[in-house]
Amino acid sequence: MTHTLSSAALARNVIAELGLDPEAVEITSVEAVSALVRRASGLLCPCPRKKILKSVLRSLDGVVPELAELRNTVDETIDLLVAHGDLLEHADATREAARSEVVLNRAPLSFVKRDSGACVLLGVAPDDRPVLPDFLHEKIQYNNFNRVVPADAAPDVSAHLAGLGFIQLPYKAWSRCPAVVAPDRHVSAMDRHLVSPLAHSTSTIEGLRILDHSTPVDYYPGRWAEPTDQTGRFIGRRPQAYGADLWCYVEMERGNPRRFLDLPLPGSRWRGCDEAWRLQAGIDACNGKPQRYKIRVGVRDFKILDLLSPVPSWAQRRWVIVGFPVARQQCLISFRFHAAEIGEEIKFAAEHLWLSEKTDS
């Protein structure tokens, strides 16, 4: 007697086999796709990324009705796992190839220890071997492509992982965010660039808008203004013939530009908006009016960080990895964290972006 399974039943079986909860996770979710990419990588690497992409899509043939629509999700998930540190990307020059080809390889099994004692898991096991004992594996918390072993999973989670052969990575080596620096030093460094040969002298910038730091810090859209009689140094945006407006740091005298510096700086690995937003946070902190955030209570053991000003991509990347984006409430962007983790994120926001908490009082 032949027993036929529906695509929905097949999807539930695949999710369960990946070690995920079929009641909480869908087969097309980032959690499930990430697990499939890791499994394919453990079996196939080193190999071109397209081989992993095809393998994942082939494994879902007959499980996902509109398989073609999932292709971009799988491709983007591979990128996320490279950025996260689960996979490594490098050039592979072979005798048969006329030129080098970018291939993917497994990152070694490793972890980053949080202040709470929780550990972020990184890397892929070779041949998709199970490496964690059941009592740790069943405690893993999946958040998009991120895997965290909570602090209460064992008396000393990091010691257990190290005993299993996982490598402990220093947070700074993994996070790739700017060094901690006082806001006045950061602003002074940018001021020096503004009077260096990198800057341009001018008497007019057509269409210039500036972030007026005399305006309230809690309403970002309302801070943008056309120059009137402002004097000082401001973050600005200036139009170009093609493409989005350019970010710049501009010196104004009675509403007229005198010098400007385009952002990002030459050789920078950050975007223009990333440099501009961090510089504005430094200017506000130096003016005694630091940008602010709010903390609100979420469901169960979660707390939510509400940001009232935009933050650079490196900060958002961290909070997407260790937290979860949620619907905003009277703010620009919100992230949810376990209550035990929120203290470390507040410390990060204060040290790297000089933010302070907004209270109801």
Is 1 inside a domain boundary? no
Q: What CATH number has the domain bearing residue 37?
A: 1.10.10
Is 306 inside a domain boundary? yes
- Give the residue from 286, 309, 341 where a domain finishes: 286
Tokens for 267, please give them. Answer: 């050789």
Tell me the pLDDT of the chain averaged across its residues: 88
Q: List the end-to-end C-alpha distance of the chain, in Å, as a whole number.
A: 71
For 327-340, b/e burial (b = at least 16 CB within 10 A) is: eeeebebbbbbbeb
- Give the residue from 286, 320, 347 where a domain finishes: 286
Tokens for 220, please give them. Answer: 């970002």
Do 228 and 201 reside in the same domain of the chain? Answer: yes
Residue that wins the pLDDT comparison between 332 and 79: 332
Instruction: Report CA torsion sign: 207, 213, 215, 221.
Output: positive
pLDDT of res. 97: 47
Do 94 and 130 reside in the same domain of the chain? Answer: no
Do 65 and 137 reside in the same domain of the chain? Answer: no
Q: Predicted confidence band at 94 (pLDDT cuts at 50, 70, 90)?
A: low
Segment 21-50, tens digit of pLDDT = 888 888 888 889 999 999 999 999 999 989
Is 253 inside a domain boundary? yes
Is 277 inside a domain boundary? yes
Q: Coil, strand or helix: which one is 98?
A: coil
pLDDT of res. 361: 53
Is 2 inside a domain boundary? no
- Give the pLDDT mean for 114-141: 88
Q: Per this entry, what is the length of the chain? A: 361
Is 190 inside a domain boundary? yes
Question: CB–CB of 25/32 below 8 Å?
Answer: yes
Helices assigned H by DSSP within the chain:
7-17, 30-44, 49-59, 71-84, 134-137, 157-163, 171-175, 183-194, 272-286, 313-322, 342-353
Is 134 inside a domain boundary? yes
Do 18 and 95 reside in the same domain of the chain? Answer: yes
DSSP string, 224-291: EE--SS--EEEEEEE--SSSSPEEEEEEEETTEEEEEEEESPTT-SS-HHHHHHHHHHHHHHHTT---
Segment 224-266, tens digit of pLDDT = 999 999 999 999 999 988 778 899 999 999 999 999 999 999 9
Cα 274 to the center of its chain, rounded Å: 13
Question: CB–CB of 121/19 below 8 Å?
Answer: no
- Give the pLDDT mean for 314-330: 84
pLDDT of res. 234: 98
Question: CB–CB of 70/57 below 8 Å?
Answer: yes
Question: CB–CB of 267/256 below 8 Å?
Answer: no
Do 155 and 207 reside in the same domain of the chain? Answer: no
Domain extent at residue 343: 292-357
Is residue 3 over pLDDT 70? no
Question: CB–CB of 305/337 below 8 Å?
Answer: yes
pLDDT of res. 89: 82
Do 11 and 101 reside in the same domain of the chain? Answer: yes
pLDDT of res. 93: 53
Tokens for 73, please give them. Answer: 């999700």
Is 93 inside a domain boundary? yes
Do 37 and 70 reside in the same domain of the chain? Answer: yes
Residue that wins the pLDDT comparison between 230 and 175: 230
Q: Coil, strand or helix: which one is 10?
A: helix
Rounded CA gap, 113 and 118, in Å?
6
Rounded CA gap, 274 and 265, in Å?
11
Residue that wins the pLDDT comparison between 255 and 64: 255
Tally of structural domains, the chain: 4
Question: CB–CB of 125/41 below 8 Å?
Answer: no
- Give the residue from 83, 106, 129 where a domain finishes: 106
Question: CB–CB of 203/197 below 8 Å?
Answer: no
Do 187 and 282 reside in the same domain of the chain? Answer: yes
**What percent of the chain lies above the pLDDT cut of 70?**
95
Do 196 and 208 reside in the same domain of the chain? Answer: yes
Is residue 2 over pLDDT 60? no
- The β-bridge partners of 302 are 338
Which one-letter amino acid corresponds to residue 17? E
Do 212 and 277 reside in the same domain of the chain? Answer: yes
Do 59 and 72 reside in the same domain of the chain? Answer: yes
Do 194 and 281 reside in the same domain of the chain? Answer: yes
